[in-house]
Amino acid sequence: MTHTLHRTGDIESLKEDFPMLTHVARGYNDIGAGERLRQMAEIARKYTDLNFGDCKVANQFMMRPEEIMRKHTVGWQVVFKNKKSLIACMKELKEKNIGISVVVSGLFDEVLECCKKAEINPPLVEFALGIHGNKQKLWPPEILDFVTMCGHGLVSGHLVKKMVEDIKKKKIPLKKAATELAKPCLCGAFNPHRAAKLLRKMIK
């Protein structure tokens, strides 16, 4: 799975978007991994409460985080909006040395700077080499920025349009609309903070 890759948007917006995921390695550290994942989730959640989820279970807008943590299987996701919290979390995860893999997505310059500050030497990276094929079928860029925050493609562009319309008609508050968009993304990789900012831009 590559569900935190290919997030589109302008640099300023992406500077507030750092999904973090953990994943067990089957056959190497999966036995008894549930408790280790829970310990790591508790660390991460001290530094961010924007989103939290496990795609085999639910996200925090569908289920209480404590319940999600009791059901962990292979990994979880959280999202950070600033480097300070991300670095602090990275440092604690490194220090606690629990042993499950952690991946952070975001602007390479920003994430690698955070790694340096946390004294972490990342062994591997993954690059996105663009979208190809019949691009006429793509959502316009301002909607694609929302849609690509769920790598499984569960956040509908139609829902983005609906939320924009409903905010304009004062049927739903902006922050609640951002949360509504986060709900279908089971993993918890969707960034509602960034979504709220993007929605604000769209209703202007």
Partner 1 sequence: MRIDMEKCVGCGRCVSYCPVGAIQIFEQNPKKKKSKIDEDECVECGVCLRAQVCKPKAIYLPELVWPRVVRRAFSDPMVEHKETGVPGRGTEEMKTNEVTGRFKKGSWGMAVEVGRPGVGGRLEDLETIAMALAGKGIVFEPRNPVTFLFEDVKTGKLKPELRGEKVLSAIIEFEVGPDQLEGVLQSLQDVSGRVETVFSVDLISFPEEREKGPALEIAKRLGFPVYPNGKVNLGLGRILNQ
Q: Tell me phi and psi for residue 18, to 5 degrees.
A: -130, 90
Could you say whether residue 178 binds partner 1 (CB under 8 A)?
no
The size of the interface with partner 1 (CB under 8 A), counted in residues, is 83
Minimum Å gap between C-beta 37 and partner 1 is 12
The set of residues, in sequence order, having a beta carbon less than 8 Å from that of 27 and lying 6+ positions away, is none
Q: Is 93 in the site for partner 1 (CB under 8 A)?
A: yes
* Strand 77-80 versus strand 58-59 pairing type: unpaired
153 binds partner 1 (CB under 8 A): yes
Contacts of residue 17, Cβ cutoff 8 Å, sequence gap at least 6: 7, 9, 79, 81, 106, 149, 191, 194
Q: Is-contact 191 152, C-beta < 8 A? A: no
According to CB under 8 A, which one of 7, 83, 193, 194 is a site residue for partner 1?
A: 7
20, β-bridge pairs: 78, 104
Q: Under the criterion CB under 8 A, does residue 203 sit at the interface with partner 1?
A: no
∠ CA 109-76-127, rounded to 5°: 30
Q: Would you mind telling me the total number of residues written for the chain in this entry?
A: 204
Note whether 202 binds partner 1 by CB under 8 A: no
* Structure tokens given for 151: 């790598």
Residues 50-79 that bind partner 1 (CB under 8 A): 55-56, 62, 74-75
Is 34 a binding residue for partner 1 by CB under 8 A? The answer is no
Residue 141 binds to partner 1 (criterion: CB under 8 A): no
Q: Does 169 bind partner 1 (CB under 8 A)?
A: no
37 binds partner 1 (CB under 8 A): no
Residue among 88 and 159 whose Cβ is closer to partner 1: 159
140 sits near partner 1 (criterion: CB under 8 A): no
204 binds partner 1 (CB under 8 A): no
With CB under 8 A as the contact rule, the residue among 162, 175, 176, 202 that binds partner 1 is 162
φ/ψ (deg, to 5) at 62: -115, -25
Q: What are phi and psi of 177, to 5 degrees?
A: -65, -40
Q: 120 or 175, CB closer to partner 1?
A: 120
Considering the rule CB under 8 A, would residue 29 count as an interface residue with partner 1? Answer: yes
